[in-house]
Amino acid sequence: MSALLAALFGAGIGLGIWFLIQALQPKPLALDAVDTALARPGQSVASARQARRQTEGPSAKDHIGAAVLRFAQATTFLDNATLERRLTILDKPIERHVYEKVLGAIAGFMLPLLMVGVLATQNVDFISLPLVAIASIALAVLGFFYPDVPLAEQVEERQRSFRQALSSYLDLVTIILAGGGGVESALEGAAEAGDGWVFAELRSALRRARLTRRSPWETLNELGERMDITELRELAASVGLAGGQGARVRQSLSARADALRAATAADFEYRAEVNTEKMVVPVIVLVFGIVLFIAYGAVNAISTGGSPAEVVDVDSP
């Protein structure tokens, strides 16, 4: 028993040291990549790091996640329809997410064993091995599914950020159209003028349209479907009418930008009200604790037959 615990304890320490080394290992970025990133307006150094990761190919984490993903898909243990849609919106590889799920399962499985190892060093003999096994399996299952919990909130936050940046993009497109620019030049110029991941996605969609010789509103519509942004699909439809049938679209885009800003302001007010309501529960618990603490003296005095003054005034004779 002691040898098994020592082996498990040593394996956990070794795994933790390996992850620590991987996390602390420096990942320098070449100076020419930084110059290339900063030479283009609206592109940050983070974009250059992402491009470098794409050129370097999959890492060891991706290989581990891919192997586990193939096993899960073969055994129909993982329903990845909704998961892939959410990860696509978050621009996160499913292999990396599966790797995090495996880490969570390993951490959950090792936690009871590490606790048993600590208790064994203190000569505690009342440890039940079946109970430890059940706890390890239960925590491993919880650790495996824990990375899926914040995905819905992260997707909602990313879509909210996209809508906020889209309103600014529509304003820029409207300004360029008012200055006499064409539809395609307005779309590309507005995308080049902005910064952040939303404008990077818009630039990528417009660049893909130019390279594949398709209309820009088609790739914008595809981006709206991938990100599940109804406003972007409506923008693509409006721009398609302007580009294909010559419709006047500047007033429509300006109205859509105003509607997006109004929706964003309403969403901010709604979230503020929700957060205010969430604070009611902690305040009630705090007040209940204070009342319980104060009432304990009175209840104790009544039960012992003394007066509250005798209980409170401890220095009286």
Alpha-carbon distance 99 to 105, whole Å?
A: 10
| Structure confidence by residue, pLDDT tens digits, 245-294 | 445 677 777 777 788 888 888 888 888 888 888 888 888 888 888 888 88
Which among 19, 150, 136, 36 is positioned nearest to 83, based on CA atoms?
150
Neighbour count for residue 265 (Cβ, 10 Å) = 10
And the tokens for 219?
A: 């790739």
Beta carbons of 143 and 104 less than 8 angstroms apart: yes
Percentage, residues of the chain above pLDDT 90:
1
Q: What is the mean pLDDT of each run of 10 residues along the chain (317 residues)?
A: 62 70 61 55 47 53 60 56 81 81 86 79 71 87 88 88 87 83 83 85 88 86 88 81 60 77 83 83 87 82 62 48
Which among 218, 85, 208 is positioned nearest to 158, based on CA atoms?
85
pLDDT value at residue 43: 47
Beta carbons of 298 and 312 less than 8 angstroms apart: no
E strand spans, the chain? none
Beta carbons of 222 and 228 less than 8 angstroms apart: no
Neighbour count for residue 78 (Cβ, 10 Å) = 17
**Which strand (E) or helix (H) includes residue 215?**
none
| Structure confidence by residue, pLDDT tens digits, 128-170 | 778 888 888 899 889 888 888 888 888 888 888 888 888 888 8
pLDDT value at residue 80: 67
Alpha-carbon distance 235 to 186, whole Å?
A: 13
CA-to-CA dists, residue 24 to 11, 27, 28, 49, angstroms? 20, 9, 12, 17
DSSP label at residue 148: G
Amino acid at 34: V
CA-to-CA dists, residue 228 to 44, 86, 124, 155, 264, angstroms? 25, 10, 55, 10, 17
Beta carbons of 96 and 63 less than 8 angstroms apart: no
Beta carbons of 73 and 80 less than 8 angstroms apart: yes
Burial class (CB in 10 A: 0-12, 13-18, 19+), 141: middle
And the tokens for 212?
A: 């594949």
Beta carbons of 138 and 152 less than 8 angstroms apart: no
Task: Map tokens 């003028």 to a residue.
Answer: 193
pLDDT value at residue 48: 47
The CA-CA-CA angle for residues 167, 208, 204, to 5°, reads 45
